[in-house]
Structure formats: C-alpha cells, structure tokens
Structure 1
Amino acid sequence: MNEKLERTLLSKFPEIFNIKESDPDDYLWGIDCGDGWAPLIAAMCRQLQFRVDATARPQIVATEIKHKMGILRCTFSGADDYCNGVIDTAVAMSYVTCELCGNKGVMARGPKGWVRVLCDQCRLDNPG
C-alpha cells in the first residue's frame, strides 16, 4: 500500500494500529497489500472501533494486514465473534475487489504463477 494511504489509515484509526505518541511522524505500520483494498480496510477498522467504543470492550488491535494467496489476510488481537464476522466480511470482499484500483475484480493466476484479484483493466496493465 502506498505511504499516503497507509498514513491516512493510521491517523484515522490509531487505536486499531496501536499508534503511540512516541512513534515518529514518519512511522509506517506495514500494511502489505494493494491500494485498492484501502476502502475495505478502512470500513473494517471503522466497524471494529465502533464496536469497541459502543461496548466499552478492551481495544481490538491489528497484528497483521497483508495480501496472501490472492486475498486480504487480517489478524487482530482482542476480537470477539462479532469482530471476527466484520473481519471475515472484509476478507470475503477482497475476493471480488481489484487489489490495485478497488473496482470489481476476479481472482486468477497470472502468467508468472501469482494469484491476484484484478479488474480487467488492471490485469491488462499488470500482466505479471
């Protein structure tokens, strides 16, 4: 994910990403996926933080967000069944969302063997 999008997510959801005031201004957490999935991650984080705020539960914290085997993989500590449902929904949406641009996509194996979810245009522009 590009730095600007990651910094936007970190600034909107500092509790989810366990950002501390002592962290440097140029701190990057390490969200390792395409820019097209940023809206999925933002929606997921918004719902998770709402759950924490509305129920006074302990803070849910992301431990890993990445692209693996063609889909979004998310790991959180402190998630209950409701939160796991929110996370599973974001992951399910990654099966049909272009990881590069966020449009409707299809999972397919590229000529180099990588499995990716891409829209038709991004697949033409990124044949690998």
Structure 2
Amino acid sequence: MKSELDDQLCRKYPTLYRDRHGDPKSTAMCWGFDCGNGWFPVIDVLSELLSKHNAEVYASQVKKQFGSLHFYYSGRDKYTDGLVSSAQSLSSMLCEICGSQALIQTKYTGWFTTRCKEHTKDYSDKEYVELDVSKVAYLGFGKAWSALVLILIDSCDWRTEHNGMPATHLSITKEAGKLIVSHSGGDDFTYTIRSLHARFQ
C-alpha cells in the first residue's frame, strides 16, 4: 500500500496501529500494510468498526495471504472476529489494485492475488472469469451491490452449514440509493457482518 494511505490509516486509528513503527522483534506491523491500494476502503471501514467497538484493540499484522486480506490483532471477541472474517471475505471479491469487482487469480508461479479483469492482464495464466452473481440477479442490483449481497448470503449460509449457526432469513432492499439489509434468525455473527456491509457500501 502506498505511503499516503498507510499514513492516513495510522493518523485516523492511532491506537489500533500503535505498533506501525514498532520493533520488528515484537510486531509484524512494522512492515506496514502489505497489500494493494484497492483494499484501503475495506481496511478503513474495518479499522473504524474495530476502534469504535473496543479502543484497546491493536493490530499486529495486516497483509495479503492466499489472495485475501488477513488481519491479525489483539483484543479479540466474537464481534471483532466476525468483522475481520467478513472483511476477509469482502476482500476476496475486490481488486487489490483498484478496488473494482474481482476474483482470486492464480499466477503461473503459484501466487494468488485478487484482481479485476483489467489488472489480470499479464498476471494470471488462466482466462479471467467474471464473478457469477446470478444467484442474486432477482434483486436487480448492479455488479457492486450484487457482489456485496452475495458475500453476505454466502457467509451466513457457510456459518449455518459448518458452524451450526441458526438459519438466517435476510430481507434485502434498496431505499433512497442505499442498500438496506434486515434479518431474522442467525446469531451475533449475522449482526456483525451486516454492520460491515452497511458501512462499506
């Protein structure tokens, strides 16, 4: 991430990133934000929600790993874990370079990155495939909102199937140019991912 965005995050969230220039022997945060500029909005929103929830939370490492954002920190609880998990899922559908809708791509050397069609050129050894949002086409949203909704639905479904979370019923509408999501069922995780998506749009 370029230095201007790095500095902006550290100024806005000084406690969260208090180890940004710390000792390499005690924190990996000293290496900065090891990802592209396209994920800045995700990190910014995540940082805001984490800081508001618990002022004592602080980051130990922020980096790209296996094509998505990985955020390591101290001061964890169920709410913060849900935020970080949701941010990771969201990053996997946003271009690390420009922030546009994207998919995780594999370079011929085996490295993973998440890139849009434009920034996949000369990188991946695979033909670019557009994100399939047909599952939520009935909502009539554009690509960006469709991707957000798809992540939300898939995250809830995955938690129900693999973690035993009660089934979640989502009500998704567009009002006054904003994406409105309400739900019944689920658990605290459902509320958490709704918080991130509502703030990010």
Q: TM-score range with shorter-chain normalisation? A: 0.7 to 0.9
Partner of 2:109: 112
- Matching residue of 2:5: 5
Match of 2:53 in 1: 51
Give the secondary structure class of the aligned counterpart of 1:117: strand
- Does the residue aligned with 1:97 lie in a helix, a strand or coil? coil
Runs of 4+ in 1 over 6 A off after TM superposition: none
RMSD: 1.7
Q: How many residues align?
A: 115
Do the aligned partners of residues 8 and 84 (structure 1) sit closer, same or farther apart at CA in structure 2, a change above 3 Å counting? same
TM-aligned CA deviation for residue 103 of structure 1? 0.6
Give SS of 2:70's match.
Answer: strand
TM-score, length of structure 1 as denominator length: 0.83
**Which amino acid in the other structure matches residue 8 of structure 2?**
T
Q: Map 1:1-128 onto structure 2 (within 5 A).
A: 1-18=1-18, 30-52=32-54, 59-124=56-121, 126-127=122-123
State whether residues 19 and 60 of structure 2, in contact with CA within 8 Å, keep that contact through their aligned partners in structure 1.
no
**Structure 1 unaligned residues grouped into runs of 5+:** 21-27, 54-58
The residue that corresponds to 2:190 in the other structure is none
- What percentage of aligned pairs have identical amino acids? 29
The 1-side partners of 2:4 and 2:31 are apart by: 12
Alpha-carbon shift at residue 111 of structure 1 (Å): 2.7
Aligned to 2:146: none
Query: In the alignment, residue 92 of structure 2 is paired with which amino acid?
Result: Y
Distance (Å, rounded) in 2 between the aligned partners of 1:69 and 1:103: 18
Q: How far apart, CA to CA, are the structure 2 residues paired with 1:61 and 1:76?
A: 6
Q: Distance in 2 between matches of 1:108 and 1:32?
A: 18
Q: Report the secondary structure of 1:116's partner residue.
A: strand
Answer yes or no: is the 8 Å Cα contact 1:72–1:94 preserved in 2: yes
1 or 2, which has the higher helix percentage?
Answer: 2
- Look at both structures and tell me which one has the larger radius of gyration over its CA atoms: 2
Structure 1 CA distance, aligned partners of 2:10 and 2:119? 26
State TM-score, norm by structure 2: 0.54
Give the AA of the match of 1:88: S
Q: Over residues 66-115 of structure 1, what are the superposed CA-to-partner deviations in whole Å (9 max), with x where a residue is unaligned? A: 01111111111011110110111111101101001001011121233221
2:19–2:59 CA contact under 8 A, matched in 1: no
Letter in 2 for 1:48: L
Unaligned runs of 5+ in 2: 21-29, 125-201
Contact preservation (8 Å) 1:17, 1:29 = no
